[in-house]
Amino acid sequence: MPIAAQQFPVVGGGQGRDVSPAIVAHMSVVYAEKAELCDHLEAIADSLPDQIDTMLCLRVAGRLVPLMRQAHRFEEELLFPLFEASAAAQQADATIGRLKSEHVYDECSAEEITEELLHIGHGHPIRNPEAFGFMLRAFFDPVRRHLAFERELLLIARQG
């Protein structure tokens, strides 16, 4: 059994719509941290090229990829099956397919951003501030939209 499912059992079984409070609480924490990381990335983008906080770069670099992977794994193992079981999910397959492909894209982007954040955080010159700013914005704006959508999904899964 996947680790996430062992830690966060779905209450009541049945159609899988009774979402454990532990799942909701965990997702709330993960989503809050994701939203905070997006805020940090926006602050970094706004501070380019001369006002960069190198400690912030290192802090975000250390958390970005692990958090994205953790959130995606949890969603794909628990949230999406709950959504699929929901009576409201008439187009669940297409929706989940889209979300999963966004996960893959976001993880690749997170790795590239992390590499640049480490480079900058360790005091090296920013290679191309304009391109890096664009890369950051092309990451955190879609991730915020993705996050908002999945928060709604969690509500749908809870309501069944």
Residue number, 96 or 120, with CB nearest to Fe ion: 96
Contact 80, 99 (CB under 8 A): yes
Piece of 89-97, 117-125, 126-134, 150-158 that binds Fe ion (CB under 5 A): 150-158
Residue number, 27 or 136, with CB nearest to Fe ion: 27
Q: Distance between CA 18 and CA 8 in Å, rounded?
A: 12
Q: Which residue in the shown chain puts its C-beta closest to Fe ion?
A: 75
Residue number, 14 or 105, with CB nearest to Fe ion: 105
Residue 107: CB atoms within 10 Å: 14
Close Cβ partners of 132 (under 8 Å, ≥ 6 residues apart) = 45, 48, 116, 126
Residue number, 51 or 91, with CB nearest to Fe ion: 91
Contact 56, 127 (CB under 8 A): no
Contact 30, 71 (CB under 8 A): yes
Residue number, 15 or 101, with CB nearest to Fe ion: 101
Piece of 26-34, 82-90, 133-141, 146-154 that binds Fe ion (CB under 5 A): 146-154
Piece of 7-15, 24-32, 51-59, 143-151 that binds Fe ion (CB under 5 A): 143-151
Q: Is 106 in the site for Fe ion (CB under 5 A)?
A: no
Contact 38, 140 (CB under 8 A): yes
Give the per-residue contact string, 62-81, with Fe ion (x = CB under 5 A; - = no): -------------x------
Q: Work out the burial of residue 124: count CB atoms within 10 Å of its CB; fewer than 13 is exposed, 13-18 middle, 19 or more buried.
A: exposed
Residues of this chain that bind Fe ion (CB under 5 A): 75, 150
